Amino acid sequence: MLVIQIIIVTVGLYLSFYVFYNVSLILIHFLVPKRTNGQITPATVFKVLIPAHNEELLLGKLLRSINVQDYPKEMYDVLVIADNCTDQTAKIAKHDNVRTVERKNSRFVGKGYAIKYGLENIENETYDAVLIVDADSVVESGTLRELDRAVQQGARIIQCYNGIANPDESWFTRLMDVSRTFGNEVLGPAKEKIGLSSHLMGNGMCFVRDVIEKYGWDAFTVGEDWEYYAKLVMKNERIAFVNKARVYHRESVDLEQATSQRLRWSSGRFAVAAKYGTRLLLNGMKSGSILKTDAALPLLLPNPSLGISLTILMFVIVLVIPLSGYRGLFTGWFGLLVILQLAFFLVGVMFVKNRKEKLLALLFAPVFLLWKSGLDLLSVVGIGRKYWVRTERKL
């Protein structure tokens, strides 16, 4: 019984730290004032890279959103990397007078290789920064202007607000919209206010030229964004978060469509966490780097769904097993952690549209948590880690 109690306390402390960390960021967001920014003259020449694999359905919409940027047209251009495409992706890009390169390689597949190929194609061209956008996205009109502001203020690596383009299409997209908005509107800005690093999200990633030339692109796992993030922070680079530079991707509308994508994301994140998480934490603690120490936490702490699923599981366990006088303490402890994590969702609801529908989507949370917990278990043992599988699009 003593061993069981030690396990319960250990897991409880781990989850308590996770909750405390998020509560701290929420307080920072609401209590630390925003910086005010004045008008600036555009100075950054951008390359917009779009890795695209069979994206004929959505690519045109993205290209149109880039074409209407509130930014001098002579200061940015677009390169589409049609990666192992078997549809009309390349033809659509060329029809819109967008420069397109086609990559055919059945041995080295995946987004990381497409990004590297695109960067190699612009290495002899004139640009100051490169923005990488997924082909199923749209870019808000002020994005390049906000990225230019950040670059002029000294940012070397930037993560844009990465939101959802179809937030009210299903209960699944509603839940995802709240979760993603919580990160974009609360956690990301809070870390930016106190000089901590955002993590890279794969979409809306911006790098100044010096970063690309200094480090190249060497992230090719299914979690290439987490991998590159860990490598950059290990080299003392900070990823700025720019809330007003916004990209919106099309979210999967149901569990069937989302399964392969989420399995890939989860598996990639766990793989990077296993390889870099502890190393980054110890490196940060040894060197006294708050930046590195904090940057390790998104890798070592649970994602939101895993966090609340694990907390609920522990709550049920302490209700079921005999704990000789400690049951009340443990149930109260884990019960409080569940309530606080539900409060995170409510904070996210504060920042979304159609709040009533978003709250009603909570009725499907048990289904979502069971599904996501199953994917996380598969991810831990490496399922979904070796091969990239394209997410099917539904319009």
pLDDT at residue 157, as a whole number: 99
Q: 92-147: per-residue pLDDT in tens?
A: 887 767 899 999 998 998 999 999 999 999 999 999 999 999 999 999 999 999 99
pLDDT at residue 113, as a whole number: 96
- 157 and 237 Cβ atoms separated by less than 8 Å: yes
Average pLDDT over residues 241-254: 97
**CA nearest neighbour of 90 among 124, 128, 150, 50:** 50
Computed on alpha carbons and rounded to an integer, the radius of gyration of the chain in Å comes to 21
Q: 330-370: per-residue pLDDT in tens?
A: 999 999 999 999 999 999 999 999 999 999 999 999 999 99
CA atoms within 13 A on the CB side of 164: 23
The C-alpha atoms of residue 226 and residue 190 are separated, in whole angstroms, by 20
The C-alpha atoms of residue 9 and residue 101 are separated, in whole angstroms, by 55
Angstrom CA distances, 243 to 18, 236, 333, 355, stand at: 23, 22, 35, 21
pLDDT at residue 337, as a whole number: 98
pLDDT at residue 93, as a whole number: 86
Cβ atoms within 10 A of the Cβ of 322, count?
9
pLDDT at residue 2, as a whole number: 80
pLDDT at residue 389, as a whole number: 55
Confidence class for position 323, pLDDT limits 50, 70, 90: confident
pTM of model > 0.75: yes
**CA nearest neighbour of 176 among 257, 231, 99:** 257
Which residues have C-beta within 8 Å of that of residue 362, sequence separation ≥ 6?
Answer: 175, 345
Q: 162-218: per-residue pLDDT in tens?
A: 999 999 999 999 999 999 999 999 999 999 999 999 999 999 999 999 999 999 999
Confidence class for position 1, pLDDT limits 50, 70, 90: confident
pLDDT at residue 106, as a whole number: 87
- Considering the chain, what is the average pLDDT of its residues? 94
The burial class, CB within 10 Å (0-12 / 13-18 / 19+), for 36 is exposed
pLDDT at 62 over 70: yes
pLDDT at 27 over 70: yes
- 187 and 196 Cβ atoms separated by less than 8 Å: no
Structure tokens, 15 = 């989850």
Confidence class for position 326, pLDDT limits 50, 70, 90: confident
The C-alpha atoms of residue 189 and residue 202 are separated, in whole angstroms, by 18
Angstrom CA distances, 67 to 74, 97, 248, stand at: 11, 11, 16
- 196 and 289 Cβ atoms separated by less than 8 Å: no
Phi, psi of 157 (to 5 degrees): -135, 135
pLDDT at residue 98, as a whole number: 87
Residue 361 DSSP class: G
pLDDT at 388 over 70: no
The C-alpha atoms of residue 59 and residue 138 are separated, in whole angstroms, by 9
pLDDT at 395 over 90: no
Share of the chain above pLDDT 90, in %: 85
Confidence class for position 390, pLDDT limits 50, 70, 90: low
